[in-house]
Amino acid sequence: GKYRIQYDKWFNESTLHKDGSVQRVIEQLKASGHTYEKDGALWFKTTEFGDEKDRVLVRENGVPTYLVPDIAYHYNKLAVRKFDKAVDIFGADHHGYIARIKASMTALGVDADRLDIVIMQMVNLVRNGEKYKLSKRSGKAITLSTLLDEIPIDAARFFFNLREPNSHFDFDLDLAVSQTSQNPVYYVQYAHARICSVLKKMNEEGIEIKSLDKAALSVLTAPEEQEMIKHLATLPNVINEAAKAYDPAKVTKYVIDLATMYHKFYNNCRIMGEDESVMQARLSLSLAVKQVIKNILDMLKITCPESM
């Protein structure tokens, strides 16, 4: 909740043992003909589905391996609760686990293509140009909750979505708290606030913003204006591609580019004091940029300030 994530259902692995799901999936796999017994253990023929070797389902002592509840969980999600798609986030060191889970779905009669796996690399925290000292308590990692005590939530959400999942990422703690144009989330939020400032000034001057047709917008011929218009037009494709690739970095990069374009436009293309037709057209363009920035920041659950 602190990080602005709400779960519809928090699923405890223990429930799969308590309600018999684990035992049922073992029996289903046996019935599928894709298991065998060896050395007192029950094995799953994952090699039949492209895995490098077969895997133990139930140990010699009768205790299921960690693979079984994972199979039961995915079966529950795709076959029992009938989700159209399941998306797993795996650490890079679990890449080999993909074949096993997909093999189990196929053996149980579930279309394995309904399960997508996103491989996520580790994140290094960096302060003063050096790797940040790890948690004193665990000695291994820093929890998100601890991180959010140090940096703004907006910065955390934006920074974690700046890189493709399968690429290494150095999270710069100093940059995340800085209020400069070098901080990408501040830079984008400032573009939105800057437009709000322009609109407020227009309102104070008694200038009415008019709704324009295509012909009235034809005066937007400056290179800065043309570049921004073309960029705005690509937004639907960018969102579609980001969704297909499970890669929100495409969206954060897009909005950084848009903010860069607007700051350049603001510095080179005067709004107030121009001819009425040019002023109104540039106001319309500014409103479009403002709306797109807000749409994207809302999508990322990042605040969109009107003044900074």
pLDDT per position as a tens digit, 123-170: 888 888 888 766 555 566 788 888 899 899 999 999 999 988 888 888
Q: What is the pLDDT of residue 230?
A: 97
Of 136, 153, 177, which closes a domain? 177
CB-based contacts of 296-299 (< 8 A; 24+ apart in sequence): 296/251, 296/254, 296/255, 297/188, 297/189, 297/192, 297/255, 299/251
Q: Based on the domain organization, do 191 and 130 belong to the same domain? A: no
pLDDT on residue 139: 62
Q: How far apart are CA 141 and CA 285, in angstroms?
A: 45
CATH number for the domain including 223?
A: 1.10.730.10
Q: Please give the pLDDT value at position 91.
A: 87
Domain carrying residue 292: 184-299
Residue-wise pLDDT for 174-188, tens only, equals: 999 999 889 999 999
List, for residues 63-79, the tens digit of each pLDDT value. 999 999 999 999 999 99
Which pLDDT value is given to residue 103? 93
pLDDT tens track for 210-233: 888 889 999 999 999 999 999 999
Provide the pLDDT for residue 136. Answer: 54
Same domain assignment for residues 235 and 286: yes
Q: Please report the pLDDT score of residue 132 as a whole number.
A: 74
- CATH (domain of 63): 3.40.50.620
Same domain, 21 and 110: yes
Q: What is the pTM of this model?
A: 0.88
Cβ pair 71, 104 in contact under 8 A: yes
CB crowding 51-63: b at 16 or more within 10 Å, else e: beebbbbbeeeee
pLDDT at 158: 96
Assigned token pair, 177? 């708290």
> Is residue 235's pLDDT more than 60?
yes
Both 246 and 275 in a single domain?
Answer: yes
Dist CA 44 CA 206 (whole Å): 75
Residues 170 and 215 grouped into a single domain: no
16-61 pLDDT tens trace: 999 999 999 999 999 999 999 999 999 999 999 888 899 999 999 9
**Pair 275, 241 in one domain:** yes
Q: What percent of the chain has pLDDT over 70?
A: 97
- Within a domain: 3: no
pLDDT of residue 304: 95
For 76-110, what is each residue's pLDDT tens digit? 999 999 999 999 999 888 888 899 999 999 999 99
The answer to whether residues 116 and 209 belong to one domain is no
